[in-house]
Amino acid sequence: MKYFTLDQLDTINQGEQKPARFAVIGNPVSHSLSPQLHQAALDSLEKDARYIRVEVEIGKLAEAFTKMHAAGIKGVNVTVPHKLEALEACQQVDPAAAHMGAVNTVILNADGTRSGFNTDGPGFSRAIREEFGVDLSDLKVIIIGAGGGAGRAIATQCTLEDCPQIILVNRSLGKIEELATKLLRLRKTESLAGPRDRISSIALDDPALEESIAASELIINTTSIGLKSADPSPFPSHWIEPHHLVYDSIYNPSRTRLLREASKQGARVANGLSLLIHQGALSLEYWLDREAPLQAMRQGLLDSIKD
């Protein structure tokens, strides 16, 4: 079965050898690769547990958590469009998730309460270390598409790690100007204000974007531009220089036009597969309180994409 609905939760273990203990919820959810990622990890760790998909309607998340807890589910990944609703449905929320304004990982506690976390930001930090061998905190970053959920999470992580430069880029300025204000407030809250207090926003069509990219070290694309083979690069690729690190949150296709052209320019590039793996690994670590088997998770994803 591709996914279960709420009224099917009492049947999730019928005819199955392993009980369902973890799940991803979304709407739609049938496309999610989380089962391939997490089942590979659970099998590698020899856990008697299954990972399933559950499709949940908007507005029914609290009900879903209650029913999933009753069905024996211990941990949940949350994908679009439920991350904000998940934040509101948790009794305990990790401070970083509160700053990001979204929850993507939930522990369904034994007493019925819910603890919420966001692994997108920390997962991205781990991905950058893996891909480029450098800490995110040491890089001047520019985030293309910062107005979306992934862009906001990454921008918040960059702020928490005190990156020396954070430039937010979006088609419309309204969302990112508000985000920039929140991030500046966060820096002050975390006692990070000072010489490195450099957070700015710019529209995608602003002529000054070329100069902003030149002044950056890590270029991050969090837009959907590149999902289709005919998609262009989100900005002129000749702006990229050999010293740049370019990270595209898209992982399928594995090489978007942005990454192909950036590589031709001599830049080091990476796609979003490492982010998907590391944010998933962090979820598993919250649920199981042990290190996740990264290689098994990576292979599970690669096999699914190949299929």
Kindly indicate the confidence band of residue 188, based on its pLDDT and cuts at 50, 70 and 90: confident
Considering just the CA atoms, what is the radius of gyration of the chain in Å? 20
How is the chain split into domains, by residue range?
A: 4-118+279-306, 121-271
Token reading at 197:
């207090």
Q: Are strands 75-78 and 105-108 parallel, antiparallel or unpaired?
A: antiparallel
Q: pLDDT (tens digit, 9 = 90+) per residue, 92-143?
A: 999 999 999 999 999 999 999 999 999 999 999 999 999 999 999 999 999 9
Is the predicted pLDDT of residue 198 greater than 90, yes or no? no
Q: Looking at residues 24-51, what average pLDDT do you find?
A: 95
CA separation for the pair 58, 88 (Å, rounded): 13
User: Looking at per-residue confidence, does 171 or 189 come out higher?
Assistant: 171
Q: Looking at residue 210, what is its pLDDT?
A: 97
Is the predicted pLDDT of residue 297 greater than 90, yes or no? yes
CA separation for the pair 263, 234 (Å, rounded): 15
CA separation for the pair 111, 72 (Å, rounded): 12
Q: Looking at residue 187, what is its pLDDT?
A: 85
Is the predicted pLDDT of residue 193 greater than 60, yes or no? no
Q: Name the average pLDDT for the chain.
A: 94
Q: Looking at residue 168, what is its pLDDT?
A: 98
Q: Looking at residues 26-39, what average pLDDT do you find?
A: 94
CA separation for the pair 105, 69 (Å, rounded): 14
Kindly indicate the confidence band of residue 23, based on its pLDDT and cuts at 50, 70 and 90: very high
Q: Which residues contact 21 (CB under 8 A, 6 or more apart)?
A: 47, 49, 50, 51, 72, 73, 74, 75
Q: Looking at residues 211-221, what average pLDDT do you find?
A: 97
Q: Pick the catalytic residue from 18, 47, 67, 83.
A: 83
Assess if CATH 3.40.50.300 describes domain 4-118+279-306: no
Q: Looking at residue 1, what is its pLDDT?
A: 63
The fold of the 121-271 domain, in CATH, is Rossmann fold (3.40.50)
Q: Which residues contact 112 (CB under 8 A, 6 or more apart)?
A: 66, 69
CA separation for the pair 99, 115 (Å, rounded): 15
Active site includes 83?
A: yes
Q: pLDDT (tens digit, 9 = 90+) per residue, 54-75?
A: 999 999 999 999 999 999 999 9
Is the predicted pLDDT of residue 272 greater than 80, yes or no? yes
Is the predicted pLDDT of residue 165 greater than 70, yes or no? yes
Local structure of 100: helix, strand or coil: helix
Is the predicted pLDDT of residue 28 greater than 80, yes or no? yes
Q: Looking at residue 155, what is its pLDDT?
A: 97
Q: Looking at residue 195, what is its pLDDT?
A: 47
Phi, psi values for residue 141, rounded to 5°: -115, 150
Neighbours of 198 (CB within 10 A): 13
Number of H helices, E strands in the chain: 11, 13
pLDDT above 70 covers a percentage of the chain that reads: 97
User: Looking at per-residue confidence, does 187 or 213 come out higher?
Assistant: 213
Kindly indicate the confidence band of residue 190, based on its pLDDT and cuts at 50, 70 and 90: confident
Q: Looking at residue 57, what is its pLDDT?
A: 95
Is the predicted pLDDT of residue 196 greater than 60, yes or no? no
> Do 121-271 and 4-118+279-306 have the same topology in CATH?
yes
